[in-house]
Amino acid sequence: MSKPHAIKVIRLTPPGRGAVAALRVEGPGAMAVVQARFQSCGGKPLSEHESDRLVFGHFNGEEVVVRRLEKDAVELHCHGGTAAVEMIEESLASAGCRSVGWREWAFDHCGDRAEADALAAMADARTERTAAILLDQYNGALEREMDAINELIERGKFDAARRRIDALLARAELGRHLVRPWSVVLAGRTNVGKSSTLNALAGYARAIVHHEPGTTRDAVTLATAVDGWPVEFCDTGGLRQGADGVEQAGIELAGERLARADLVVLISDRSLSWTDEDDNLIEKWPDAVVVHNKSDLPTGRGDRPAGVSISALRGEGITSLLEMISRRLVPDPPPPGAAVPLTDEKVEAVQRLTRTIK
Protein backbone atom coordinates (compact mmCIF):
# COMPACT_ATOMS: atom_id res chain seq x y z
CA MET A 1 0.00 0.00 0.00
CA SER A 2 1.42 3.39 -1.00
CA LYS A 3 1.70 6.22 1.52
CA PRO A 4 -1.02 8.81 0.76
CA HIS A 5 1.19 11.79 1.81
CA ALA A 6 3.41 10.94 -1.14
CA ILE A 7 0.47 12.01 -3.31
CA LYS A 8 0.66 15.66 -4.30
CA VAL A 9 -2.25 17.94 -5.20
CA ILE A 10 -1.32 20.92 -7.37
CA ARG A 11 -3.60 23.80 -8.35
CA LEU A 12 -2.83 24.41 -12.02
CA THR A 13 -5.07 27.45 -12.44
CA PRO A 14 -4.58 30.76 -10.60
CA PRO A 15 -6.81 31.63 -7.62
CA GLY A 16 -9.85 33.82 -8.15
CA ARG A 17 -12.80 33.81 -10.47
CA GLY A 18 -12.68 31.68 -13.57
CA ALA A 19 -14.97 29.44 -15.58
CA VAL A 20 -12.99 26.30 -14.87
CA ALA A 21 -10.30 25.41 -12.33
CA ALA A 22 -7.85 22.56 -12.78
CA LEU A 23 -6.04 20.42 -10.23
CA ARG A 24 -3.46 17.73 -10.74
CA VAL A 25 -3.18 14.78 -8.37
CA GLU A 26 0.01 12.77 -8.73
CA GLY A 27 2.03 10.16 -6.90
CA PRO A 28 1.73 6.45 -6.13
CA GLY A 29 -1.95 5.64 -5.59
CA ALA A 30 -3.26 8.98 -6.92
CA MET A 31 -5.78 7.28 -9.18
CA ALA A 32 -7.18 5.15 -6.34
CA VAL A 33 -7.59 8.16 -4.01
CA VAL A 34 -9.52 10.10 -6.68
CA GLN A 35 -11.52 7.05 -7.71
CA ALA A 36 -12.74 6.54 -4.12
CA ARG A 37 -14.47 9.96 -4.25
CA PHE A 38 -15.55 10.05 -7.89
CA GLN A 39 -18.69 8.64 -9.50
CA SER A 40 -18.59 8.73 -13.29
CA CYS A 41 -21.90 9.41 -15.05
CA GLY A 42 -21.71 6.11 -16.88
CA GLY A 43 -21.01 4.27 -13.61
CA LYS A 44 -17.72 2.79 -14.89
CA PRO A 45 -14.79 3.12 -12.41
CA LEU A 46 -12.05 5.55 -13.43
CA SER A 47 -9.45 2.77 -13.55
CA GLU A 48 -11.38 1.10 -16.35
CA HIS A 49 -11.30 4.20 -18.57
CA GLU A 50 -8.47 4.60 -21.04
CA SER A 51 -5.87 7.17 -20.06
CA ASP A 52 -6.34 10.67 -21.52
CA ARG A 53 -10.10 10.07 -21.92
CA LEU A 54 -12.25 12.85 -20.41
CA VAL A 55 -14.74 11.39 -17.95
CA PHE A 56 -17.64 13.45 -16.63
CA GLY A 57 -19.01 12.74 -13.17
CA HIS A 58 -19.22 13.91 -9.57
CA PHE A 59 -16.55 14.33 -6.90
CA ASN A 60 -18.30 14.31 -3.51
CA GLY A 61 -21.40 15.58 -5.34
CA GLU A 62 -19.55 18.40 -7.22
CA GLU A 63 -19.59 18.25 -11.05
CA VAL A 64 -16.13 17.50 -12.41
CA VAL A 65 -14.38 16.29 -15.53
CA VAL A 66 -11.56 13.87 -14.76
CA ARG A 67 -8.73 12.79 -17.00
CA ARG A 68 -6.39 9.96 -16.18
CA LEU A 69 -2.96 10.98 -17.33
CA GLU A 70 0.10 8.76 -17.32
CA LYS A 71 0.42 6.22 -14.53
CA ASP A 72 -0.39 7.66 -11.10
CA ALA A 73 -1.50 11.09 -12.28
CA VAL A 74 -5.02 12.44 -12.62
CA GLU A 75 -6.28 15.85 -13.72
CA LEU A 76 -9.51 17.22 -12.24
CA HIS A 77 -11.45 20.08 -13.84
CA CYS A 78 -14.16 21.65 -11.70
CA HIS A 79 -16.15 24.86 -11.50
CA GLY A 80 -13.93 27.96 -11.23
CA GLY A 81 -13.83 30.11 -8.11
CA THR A 82 -12.69 28.88 -4.75
CA ALA A 83 -15.51 26.74 -3.29
CA ALA A 84 -15.22 23.65 -5.50
CA VAL A 85 -11.40 23.74 -5.53
CA GLU A 86 -11.20 24.03 -1.74
CA MET A 87 -13.69 21.21 -1.22
CA ILE A 88 -11.66 18.88 -3.48
CA GLU A 89 -8.37 19.91 -1.84
CA GLU A 90 -9.81 19.36 1.66
CA SER A 91 -11.25 15.99 0.71
CA LEU A 92 -7.90 14.86 -0.72
CA ALA A 93 -6.03 16.29 2.28
CA SER A 94 -8.25 14.23 4.61
CA ALA A 95 -6.98 11.19 2.69
CA GLY A 96 -3.43 12.31 3.51
CA CYS A 97 -2.57 13.99 0.19
CA ARG A 98 -0.26 17.00 0.30
CA SER A 99 -1.02 20.33 -1.43
CA VAL A 100 1.97 21.68 -3.33
CA GLY A 101 2.28 25.16 -4.91
CA TRP A 102 2.58 25.18 -8.71
CA ARG A 103 5.99 26.87 -8.59
CA GLU A 104 7.44 24.14 -6.37
CA TRP A 105 5.86 21.47 -8.54
CA ALA A 106 7.04 23.09 -11.79
CA PHE A 107 10.58 23.51 -10.41
CA ASP A 108 10.71 19.77 -9.70
CA HIS A 109 9.67 19.10 -13.29
CA CYS A 110 12.10 21.54 -14.95
CA GLY A 111 15.27 20.22 -16.49
CA ASP A 112 17.49 22.87 -14.88
CA ARG A 113 17.57 26.12 -12.95
CA ALA A 114 17.49 28.35 -16.06
CA GLU A 115 14.33 26.67 -17.27
CA ALA A 116 12.78 27.03 -13.80
CA ASP A 117 13.71 30.75 -13.61
CA ALA A 118 12.16 31.39 -17.02
CA LEU A 119 9.02 29.51 -16.06
CA ALA A 120 8.58 31.47 -12.82
CA ALA A 121 9.22 34.74 -14.67
CA MET A 122 6.63 33.85 -17.32
CA ALA A 123 3.93 33.80 -14.65
CA ASP A 124 4.85 37.40 -13.77
CA ALA A 125 5.13 38.68 -17.37
CA ARG A 126 2.82 41.62 -17.99
CA THR A 127 2.78 41.71 -21.77
CA GLU A 128 2.71 39.24 -24.63
CA ARG A 129 5.97 40.62 -25.97
CA THR A 130 7.86 39.97 -22.74
CA ALA A 131 6.16 36.57 -22.29
CA ALA A 132 7.34 35.55 -25.79
CA ILE A 133 10.97 36.41 -24.91
CA LEU A 134 10.67 34.48 -21.63
CA LEU A 135 9.21 31.50 -23.47
CA ASP A 136 12.25 31.51 -25.78
CA GLN A 137 14.51 31.35 -22.70
CA TYR A 138 12.37 28.59 -21.19
CA ASN A 139 12.94 26.69 -24.42
CA GLY A 140 16.70 27.03 -23.97
CA ALA A 141 17.63 30.03 -26.20
CA LEU A 142 20.32 31.27 -23.78
CA GLU A 143 21.85 27.84 -23.18
CA ARG A 144 22.08 27.20 -26.94
CA GLU A 145 23.75 30.59 -27.51
CA MET A 146 26.25 29.99 -24.69
CA ASP A 147 27.08 26.55 -26.12
CA ALA A 148 27.61 28.14 -29.56
CA ILE A 149 29.92 30.79 -28.04
CA ASN A 150 31.89 28.12 -26.16
CA GLU A 151 32.34 26.24 -29.40
CA LEU A 152 33.65 29.37 -31.14
CA ILE A 153 36.12 29.88 -28.30
CA GLU A 154 37.30 26.26 -28.52
CA ARG A 155 37.87 26.71 -32.26
CA GLY A 156 39.88 29.89 -31.60
CA LYS A 157 37.31 32.19 -33.26
CA PHE A 158 37.68 34.80 -30.54
CA ASP A 159 36.41 37.87 -32.43
CA ALA A 160 33.16 36.15 -33.38
CA ALA A 161 32.77 34.88 -29.79
CA ARG A 162 33.38 38.36 -28.38
CA ARG A 163 30.77 39.89 -30.71
CA ARG A 164 28.16 37.39 -29.58
CA ILE A 165 29.06 37.87 -25.90
CA ASP A 166 28.70 41.64 -26.32
CA ALA A 167 25.31 41.18 -27.99
CA LEU A 168 24.17 39.08 -25.01
CA LEU A 169 25.45 41.56 -22.44
CA ALA A 170 23.70 44.40 -24.29
CA ARG A 171 20.44 42.57 -23.58
CA ALA A 172 21.08 42.23 -19.81
CA GLU A 173 19.09 45.37 -19.01
CA LEU A 174 16.16 44.11 -21.08
CA GLY A 175 16.34 40.76 -19.27
CA ARG A 176 15.98 42.46 -15.90
CA HIS A 177 12.92 44.38 -17.05
CA LEU A 178 10.96 41.49 -18.47
CA VAL A 179 9.13 41.14 -15.16
CA ARG A 180 10.00 44.49 -13.54
CA PRO A 181 8.58 47.48 -15.42
CA TRP A 182 10.81 50.32 -16.57
CA SER A 183 10.28 53.45 -14.50
CA VAL A 184 9.75 56.51 -16.70
CA VAL A 185 9.47 59.76 -14.75
CA LEU A 186 7.85 62.90 -16.15
CA ALA A 187 9.63 65.93 -14.78
CA GLY A 188 9.83 69.64 -15.45
CA ARG A 189 8.95 73.03 -14.04
CA THR A 190 5.48 73.68 -12.63
CA ASN A 191 2.53 74.14 -14.98
CA VAL A 192 4.36 72.93 -18.12
CA GLY A 193 1.82 70.10 -18.58
CA LYS A 194 3.39 67.04 -16.91
CA SER A 195 0.06 65.74 -15.57
CA SER A 196 -1.67 66.53 -18.88
CA THR A 197 1.05 64.54 -20.67
CA LEU A 198 0.55 61.58 -18.32
CA ASN A 199 -3.18 61.73 -19.05
CA ALA A 200 -2.53 61.88 -22.79
CA LEU A 201 -0.14 58.90 -22.50
CA ALA A 202 -2.72 56.96 -20.50
CA GLY A 203 -5.50 57.86 -22.90
CA TYR A 204 -7.74 58.88 -20.05
CA ALA A 205 -7.86 61.53 -17.32
CA ARG A 206 -6.04 60.16 -14.33
CA ALA A 207 -3.92 62.90 -12.81
CA ILE A 208 -5.46 66.17 -11.61
CA VAL A 209 -4.71 69.00 -14.03
CA HIS A 210 -5.03 72.64 -13.09
CA HIS A 211 -3.93 76.02 -14.39
CA GLU A 212 -2.45 76.93 -10.97
CA PRO A 213 1.24 76.04 -10.71
CA GLY A 214 2.03 73.40 -8.08
CA THR A 215 -1.10 71.28 -8.63
CA THR A 216 0.64 67.91 -8.39
CA ARG A 217 2.20 67.36 -4.99
CA ASP A 218 2.15 63.62 -4.90
CA ALA A 219 3.81 61.13 -7.24
CA VAL A 220 1.06 59.63 -9.43
CA THR A 221 2.01 56.44 -11.24
CA LEU A 222 0.51 54.68 -14.21
CA ALA A 223 1.31 51.08 -15.10
CA THR A 224 0.98 50.49 -18.81
CA ALA A 225 2.79 49.02 -21.81
CA VAL A 226 4.69 50.96 -24.47
CA ASP A 227 5.20 48.97 -27.63
CA GLY A 228 4.75 45.79 -25.58
CA TRP A 229 7.31 46.82 -22.93
CA PRO A 230 5.96 47.12 -19.37
CA VAL A 231 6.36 50.70 -18.19
CA GLU A 232 5.41 52.59 -15.07
CA PHE A 233 5.02 56.29 -15.80
CA CYS A 234 5.39 58.57 -12.85
CA ASP A 235 4.04 62.12 -12.80
CA THR A 236 5.80 64.36 -10.32
CA GLY A 237 5.14 67.70 -8.75
CA GLY A 238 6.71 70.61 -10.62
CA LEU A 239 10.34 71.35 -9.84
CA ARG A 240 10.10 74.92 -8.60
CA GLN A 241 12.62 76.94 -6.75
CA GLY A 242 11.34 78.60 -3.58
CA ALA A 243 8.48 76.15 -2.95
CA ASP A 244 7.64 75.32 0.65
CA GLY A 245 5.43 73.05 2.81
CA VAL A 246 3.54 70.28 1.06
CA GLU A 247 4.83 71.38 -2.33
CA GLN A 248 8.43 71.14 -1.15
CA ALA A 249 7.72 67.62 0.18
CA GLY A 250 6.35 66.76 -3.28
CA ILE A 251 9.53 68.07 -4.89
CA GLU A 252 11.62 65.89 -2.57
CA LEU A 253 9.51 62.85 -3.47
CA ALA A 254 9.98 63.73 -7.14
CA GLY A 255 13.75 63.80 -6.50
CA GLU A 256 13.65 60.25 -5.12
CA ARG A 257 11.64 59.01 -8.09
CA LEU A 258 14.00 60.74 -10.48
CA ALA A 259 17.05 59.19 -8.83
CA ARG A 260 15.60 55.70 -9.40
CA ALA A 261 14.21 56.39 -12.90
CA ASP A 262 15.26 54.29 -15.89
CA LEU A 263 14.33 57.21 -18.13
CA VAL A 264 13.46 60.84 -17.46
CA VAL A 265 11.08 62.74 -19.74
CA LEU A 266 11.80 66.41 -19.29
CA ILE A 267 8.80 68.51 -20.22
CA SER A 268 8.88 72.21 -21.01
CA ASP A 269 6.22 74.72 -22.05
CA ARG A 270 6.91 75.63 -25.68
CA SER A 271 4.73 78.72 -25.47
CA LEU A 272 7.17 80.25 -22.97
CA SER A 273 10.76 81.31 -23.57
CA TRP A 274 13.46 78.79 -22.65
CA THR A 275 14.94 79.80 -19.30
CA ASP A 276 18.08 79.18 -17.25
CA GLU A 277 15.99 76.99 -15.00
CA ASP A 278 15.20 74.74 -18.02
CA ASP A 279 18.92 74.65 -18.81
CA ASN A 280 19.67 73.56 -15.24
CA LEU A 281 17.22 70.68 -15.56
CA ILE A 282 18.81 69.51 -18.81
CA GLU A 283 22.23 69.70 -17.22
CA LYS A 284 20.99 67.59 -14.33
CA TRP A 285 19.47 64.91 -16.61
CA PRO A 286 21.50 65.00 -19.82
CA ASP A 287 20.02 61.68 -20.98
CA ALA A 288 16.42 62.83 -20.63
CA VAL A 289 13.96 62.77 -23.51
CA VAL A 290 13.20 66.46 -24.09
CA VAL A 291 9.56 67.34 -24.75
CA HIS A 292 8.20 70.71 -25.83
CA ASN A 293 4.56 70.79 -24.81
CA LYS A 294 1.69 73.13 -25.77
CA SER A 295 2.51 73.02 -29.49
CA ASP A 296 -1.04 74.25 -30.12
CA LEU A 297 -0.03 77.68 -28.74
CA PRO A 298 2.30 80.24 -30.41
CA THR A 299 5.96 79.39 -29.76
CA GLY A 300 7.80 81.39 -27.12
CA ARG A 301 10.86 83.45 -28.04
CA GLY A 302 14.46 82.23 -28.11
CA ASP A 303 16.27 78.99 -29.00
CA ARG A 304 15.31 75.65 -27.53
CA PRO A 305 17.17 72.34 -27.60
CA ALA A 306 15.99 69.61 -29.99
CA GLY A 307 13.09 67.54 -28.68
CA VAL A 308 9.67 66.07 -29.36
CA SER A 309 6.91 68.62 -29.86
CA ILE A 310 3.54 67.65 -28.41
CA SER A 311 0.22 69.09 -27.43
CA ALA A 312 -0.93 67.10 -24.42
CA LEU A 313 -4.22 68.96 -24.58
CA ARG A 314 -4.97 67.86 -28.14
CA GLY A 315 -3.15 64.53 -28.00
CA GLU A 316 -0.81 65.60 -30.82
CA GLY A 317 2.70 64.17 -31.01
CA ILE A 318 1.95 61.54 -28.34
CA THR A 319 2.58 58.65 -30.77
CA SER A 320 6.02 60.09 -31.64
CA LEU A 321 6.76 60.49 -27.93
CA LEU A 322 5.80 56.86 -27.24
CA GLU A 323 7.99 55.69 -30.15
CA MET A 324 10.89 57.70 -28.79
CA ILE A 325 10.41 56.26 -25.27
CA SER A 326 10.30 52.71 -26.66
CA ARG A 327 13.52 53.29 -28.67
CA ARG A 328 15.27 54.73 -25.64
CA LEU A 329 14.25 51.86 -23.36
CA VAL A 330 15.02 49.07 -25.84
CA PRO A 331 17.18 50.45 -28.66
CA ASP A 332 17.74 47.04 -30.22
CA PRO A 333 14.79 44.69 -29.60
CA PRO A 334 15.82 41.02 -29.83
CA PRO A 335 14.53 39.06 -32.82
CA PRO A 336 12.23 36.07 -32.11
CA GLY A 337 14.13 33.17 -30.55
CA ALA A 338 17.08 35.34 -29.44
CA ALA A 339 18.94 34.62 -26.22
CA VAL A 340 18.46 37.03 -23.30
CA PRO A 341 20.12 36.63 -19.86
CA LEU A 342 17.33 36.95 -17.28
CA THR A 343 19.13 37.06 -13.96
CA ASP A 344 22.35 38.53 -12.53
CA GLU A 345 23.62 34.96 -12.27
CA LYS A 346 23.18 34.49 -16.01
CA VAL A 347 24.84 37.83 -16.78
CA GLU A 348 27.81 36.72 -14.66
CA ALA A 349 27.94 33.40 -16.52
CA VAL A 350 28.12 35.31 -19.82
CA GLN A 351 30.85 37.58 -18.40
CA ARG A 352 32.83 34.49 -17.34
CA LEU A 353 32.86 33.41 -20.98
CA THR A 354 34.83 36.58 -21.82
CA ARG A 355 37.51 35.55 -19.33
CA THR A 356 38.03 32.23 -21.10
CA ILE A 357 39.09 34.13 -24.26
CA LYS A 358 42.86 34.44 -24.39
Ligand X SMILES: Nc1nc2c(ncn2[C@@H]2O[C@H](COP(=O)(O)OP(=O)(O)OP(=O)(O)O)[C@@H](O)[C@H]2O)c(=O)[nH]1
233's enclosing H/E stretch is strand 229-235
Print the binding letters for residues 133-172 with ligand X: x by CB under 6 A, - otherwise: ----------------------------------------
Residues near Mg ion, by CB under 5 A: 194-195, 215-216
Q: Which does 108 bind (CB under 5 to 8 A by kind): ligand X, Mg ion, none?
A: none
State in angstroms the smallest separation of the CB of 291 from ligand X. Answer: 10
Q: Select the residue interacting with ligand X from 24, 68, 177, 294 (CB under 6 A).
A: 294
Instruction: Determine the Cα–Cα distance for residues 51 and 217; give it in Å rounded to an integer.
Output: 63
State in angstroms the smallest separation of the CB of 211 from Mg ion. Answer: 11
Residues 198-227 that bind ligand X (CB under 6 A): 209-211, 213-216
The residues near 13 (Cβ < 8 Å, ≥ 6 apart) are 20, 21, 22, 80
Residues 233-292 that bind ligand X (CB under 6 A): 237-238
Q: Which does 183 bind (CB under 5 to 8 A by kind): ligand X, Mg ion, none?
A: none
Query: Count of H helices and E strands in the chain?
Result: 13, 13
The residues near 170 (Cβ < 8 Å, ≥ 6 apart) are 332
The window from 14-22, 56-64, 274-282, 308-316 that contacts ligand X (CB under 6 A) reads: 308-316
Print the binding letters for residues 5-44 with ligand X: x by CB under 6 A, - otherwise: ----------------------------------------
State in angstroms the smallest separation of the CB of 189 from ligand X. Answer: 7
Residue 55, phi then psi, degrees to nearest 5:
-120, 120
Contact 311, 294 (CB under 8 A): yes
Rg (the chain; Cα; Å): 28
Please say whether the dihedral angle defined by the alpha carbons of residues 107, 111, 112 and 117, taken in this order, is positive or negative: negative
State in angstroms the smallest separation of the CB of 191 from ligand X. Answer: 5
State in angstroms the smallest separation of the CB of 69 from ligand X. Answer: 57
Instruction: Determine the Cα–Cα distance for residues 97 and 90; give it in Å rounded to an integer.
Output: 9
Q: Select the residue interacting with ligand X from 191, 221, 224, 326 (CB under 6 A).
A: 191
Nearest to 30 by CA among 14, 16, 10: 10
Instruction: Determine the Cα–Cα distance for residues 162 and 351; give it in Å rounded to an integer.
Output: 10
Which residues make up the interface to ligand X (CB under 6 A)?
190-196, 209-211, 213-216, 237-238, 293-294, 296-297, 311-313
